Amino acid sequence: MLEIGRLRVFHGVIEAVHGIDLCVREGECVALLGPNGAGKTSTLSAITGAARATGTIRLAGRDLSGLAIEDRCRLGIAIAPEGRRVFANLTVRENLVMGGAIRRDRRALAAEIDSWFQRFPVLGERRDQPAGTLSGGEQQMLAIARALLARPRILLLDEPSLGLAPQIVGRIFRIIEELKAQGTTILLVEQNAAAAIAVSDSVHVLSNGVVTRQGPAAAFGDGSGLMDELTGVHG
Ligand SMILES: Nc1ncnc2c1ncn2[C@@H]1O[C@H](COP(=O)(O)OP(=O)(O)OP(=O)(O)O)[C@@H](O)[C@H]1O
Ligand SMILES: [Mg+2]
């Protein structure tokens, strides 16, 4: 579904990612792990079109290079960004409507929003509340639902567990597991290696902008072998 080749990502003159390859097949969840500053968010920004990049990015065989963010969104790229980035002043419902803004089937969209309220009653109860008043975990659920309302071919998740209490982290990973079981294709950026490996098919470890290890999730066990790579490398 998503094929990335020799990807280099730039922020002005800074090169944050130095030529990585990565592939996510339809229905797969691929984990992209790495410490702070490794280039995980930069990689996702290159996919969404928010950062300048060279190399190839193909979605379902189609080359995305040169396409604007909205066009990539229309072709099936959606992201629940780092730090959730919900529209704090809009209501929960308005945030979800924004997620489906590229769709024309308004009636189906409204029904789908209702089904998210059933799936996450905590959002349903707060549907008319400003999203900024939600807890971190609730905002993460909202960010994921908002992304999926665009009906993407692939869902990019940038550190969905960041800053959440352990119990809520468990909830978020169960949601990811359920999405995968329903056939959603996912590229999951995480620092919580153990939890990410447990829900993923394959794993890439990024460090200082290069992939240092990759392979099937089973080869990474519980992630304890990655401690050196994921802590203190940077900063
Ligand atoms: N907008 C920007 N301008 C300049 N440099 C940037 C910008 N965004 C990221 N960088 C740099 O690119 C490198 C990779 O950053 P990136 O945000 O991709 O890392 P990350 O793996 O997502 O880290 P974290 O786990 O902290 O989110 C870092 O050295 C960072 O300082
Ligand atoms: Mg990041």
In this structure, what CATH number is given to the domain that contains residue 141? 3.40.50.300
| Total-model pTM | 0.94
Question: Strands 29-33 and 14-24: what pairing?
Answer: unpaired
User: What span, in angstroms and rounded, lies between the C-alpha atoms of 179 and 183?
Assistant: 7
Q: Which residues contact 159 (CB under 8 A, 6 or more apart)?
A: 40, 82, 189, 190, 191
Q: Which of 11, 44, 191 to mutate to test the pocket of ligand 1 (most atoms within 8 A of CB)?
A: 11
Residue 78 pairs in a beta bridge with: 155
Q: Map residue 229 onto helix, strand or coil.
A: helix
Instruction: Determine the atom of ligand 1 nearest the C-alpha atom of 234.
Output: 29
Domain annotation covers residue 115: yes
User: What span, in angstroms and rounded, lies between the C-alpha atoms of 125 and 120?
Assistant: 9
Domain annotation covers residue 132: yes
The number of residues making up the chain comes to 235
CA of residue 166 to ligand 2 center, whole Å: 20
Q: Which residues contact 7 (CB under 8 A, 6 or more apart)?
A: 17, 19, 20, 21, 22, 43, 46, 53, 54, 55, 56, 57
Query: Atom 3, ligand 1: which residue's CA is nearest?
Result: 11
Residue 49, domain extent: 2-230
- Residue 95's φ and ψ, nearest 5 degrees, are -60, -40
CB atoms within 10 A of CB 161: 24
> Looking at residue 153, what DSSP letter applies?
S
Helices (H), 120-160: 121-125, 136-148
- Number of domains the chain contains: 1
Q: Which of 40, 47, 230 to mutate to test the pocket of ligand 1 (most atoms within 8 A of CB)?
A: 40
Domain annotation covers residue 166: yes
Domain annotation covers residue 235: no
Q: Which residues contact 224 (CB under 8 A, 6 or more apart)?
A: 194
Residues with CB under 6 A from ligand 1: 11-12, 14, 16, 34, 36-42, 82, 191
Q: What is the pLDDT along the chain (235 residues), one digit of tens a residue?
A: 999 999 999 999 999 999 999 999 999 999 999 999 999 999 999 999 999 999 999 999 999 999 999 999 999 999 999 999 999 999 999 999 999 998 889 899 999 999 999 999 999 999 999 999 999 999 999 999 999 999 999 999 999 999 999 999 999 999 999 999 999 999 999 999 999 999 999 999 999 999 999 999 999 988 888 877 787 544 3
Contact between 39 and 209 under an 8 Å Cβ cutoff? The reply is: yes
Angle at 103 between CA 97 and CA 108, to 5 degrees: 75
